[in-house]
């Protein structure tokens, strides 16, 4: 079950990477996405165990407390009070653990991103002898990550310490109050209570790990939800579109010979807040017939790339219509410059 759930989460993340718009994709680095696929997926899957422990452990503790009541009456309330007093302390420690975990994951994402960039340009780094420089560059984030990890582990130790000492304090205060109430401690009562105290040790010691697992899972779920809630590119590819949708446009729009049609399209780069929308393309009307070769020419920053991204569905469509008759293929071109004579370059291009 856990394997299927983990595979499902990884599949959803992979599909989202293929559908997310270019503007939303730029918000996440490669390191973050790799962390989504590995660390966050595992922590989310581990929520299954922690979820069932959240109801089973309190049930075990409740049954043990009831049996203690049958043995020492209301004297068990002294030990219960100590346990309740330790709950705010553990809650405060849990909040510190959550904060340290967020900072650690942020540094982990940055470290993976830097490592990916180094591996991409490893030949250049080796050629110029920059290994030490870039090694220090990666170790900066690694040092911060280890510091936050150490802080979290120290907090984990304190959390476990408080919960591990709880059974001892529980028995001490329970027997003390039982004696002060005038009852006599006999062997049967003591050994029965000690057996119940031992039954409390396992759920009480497991409880902090369950809390930490839930904290990690909820942090990972919030990280994944932020990524999965990003807007996707939505490009109309229906071949039979109603001509009435383009009634306000030129009559050529209703022709079936058109490959791409845009009618009063207003597009902006994606933003979570509609008030921050900055229109890059405003009321663009475009009609491209099938089989035509079209070149987009303009000054730098005039919106050439934005127009192409809008056709590909990579921009946030505010209003208007953008329609394509069939599938769309995007083939980027990377220019290559040969350091040779102009005549030789011309001969290569002719070949």
φ/ψ of residue 327, rounded to 5: -80, 160
Indicate whether 57 pLDDT > 50.
yes
CA distance 71 to 52: 29
Average of pLDDT values for 116-130? Answer: 89
3-state secondary structure of 322: strand
Average of pLDDT values for 84-89? Answer: 79
312 in the same domain as 269 = yes
Report pLDDT digits (tens) over 200-217: 777 876 777 788 788 888
246 in the same domain as 165 = no
CA distance 122 to 112: 15
CA distance 14 to 281: 30
Which residues contact residue 282 at a Cβ distance below 8 angstroms, ignoring those fewer than 6 apart? 266
Average of pLDDT values for 4-17? Answer: 87
Q: Pull the structure tokens for residue 157.
A: 């130790």
Q: Which CATH number does the domain housing residue 277 bear?
A: 3.40.50
Nearest to 235 by CA among 142, 326, 169, 330: 326
313 in the same domain as 263 = yes
With vertex at residue 350, the alpha carbon angle to CA 345 and CA 351, rounded to the nearest 5 degrees, is 100
CA distance 119 to 136: 15
Average of pLDDT values for 183-203? Answer: 81
Q: Pull the structure tokens for residue 189.
A: 């009562």
Question: pTM of this prediction?
Answer: 0.54
What pLDDT score does 243 carry?
Answer: 46
73 in the same domain as 186 = yes
Please return the burial class of 29, using the count of CB atoms within 10 Å of its CB with bins 0-12, 13-18 and 19+.
middle
Domain range enclosing 202: 2-228
CA distance 149 to 97: 10
Based on the structure, what is the number of domains in the chain? 2
Average of pLDDT values for 293-322? Answer: 81
Report pLDDT digits (tens) over 227-241: 888 877 655 444 444
What pLDDT score does 340 carry?
Answer: 52
What pLDDT score does 342 carry?
Answer: 52
Average of pLDDT values for 65-74? Answer: 84
206 in the same domain as 338 = no
347 in the same domain as 210 = no
Average of pLDDT values for 14-18? Answer: 86
Using CA atoms, how far residue 34 sits from 26, 41, 108, 220, 226, in Å, is: 15, 10, 10, 13, 15
Indicate whether 313 pLDDT > 80.
no
168 in the same domain as 240 = no
Q: Which CATH number does the domain housing residue 76 bear?
A: 1.20.1560.10
What pLDDT score does 30 carry?
Answer: 75
Average of pLDDT values for 19-30? Answer: 76
240 in the same domain as 222 = no
Please say whether the beta carbons of 96 and 148 come within 8 A: no
Report pLDDT digits (tens) over 242-256: 444 444 454 445 467
């Amino acid at each position: 079950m856990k394997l299927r759930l983990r595979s499902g989460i990884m599949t959803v993340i992979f599909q989202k990477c293929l559908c997310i718009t270019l503007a939303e994709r730029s918000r996440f680095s490669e390191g973050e996405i790799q962390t989504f696929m590995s660390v966050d997926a595992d922590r989310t899957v581990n929520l299954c165990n922690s979820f069932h422990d959240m109801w089973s452990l309190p049930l075990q503790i409740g049954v043990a407390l009831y049996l203690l009541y049958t043995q020492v009456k209301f004297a068990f309330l002294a030990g219960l009070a100590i346990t309740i007093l330790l709950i705010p302390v553990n809650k405060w420690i849990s909040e510190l653990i959550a904060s340290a975990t967020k900072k650690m994951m942020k540094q982990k994402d940055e470290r993976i991103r830097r490592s990916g960039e180094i591996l991409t340009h490893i030949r250049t780094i080796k050629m110029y002898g920059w290994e030490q420089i870039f090694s220090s560059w990666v170790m900066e984030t690694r040092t911060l990550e280890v510091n936050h990890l150490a802080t979290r582990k120290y907090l984990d130790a304190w959390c476990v310490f408080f919960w591990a000492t709880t059974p001892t304090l529980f028995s001490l205060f329970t027997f003390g109050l039982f004696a002060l109430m005038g009852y006599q401690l006999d062997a049967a009562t003591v050994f029965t209570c000690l057996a119940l105290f031992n039954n409390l040790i396992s759920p009480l010691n497991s409880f902090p790990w369950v809390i930490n697992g839930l904290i990690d899972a909820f942090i990972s779920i919030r990280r994944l939800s932020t990524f999965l809630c990003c807007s996707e590119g939505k490009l109309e590819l229906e071949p039979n579109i109603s001509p009435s949708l383009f009634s306000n446009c030129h009559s050529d729009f209703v022709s079936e010979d058109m490959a791409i049609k845009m009618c009063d399209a207003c597009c902006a780069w994606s933003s979570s807040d509609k008030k921050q929308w900055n229109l890059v393309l405003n009321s663009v009307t475009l009609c491209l017939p099938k089989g035509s070769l079209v070149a987009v020419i303009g000054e730098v920053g005039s919106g050439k790339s934005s127009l192409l991204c809008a056709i590909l569905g990579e921009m946030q469509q505010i209003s208007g219509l953008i329609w394509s008759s069939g599938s769309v293929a995007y083939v980027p071109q990377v220019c290559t410059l040969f350091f040779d004579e102009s005549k030789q370059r011309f001969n290569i291009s002719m070949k």
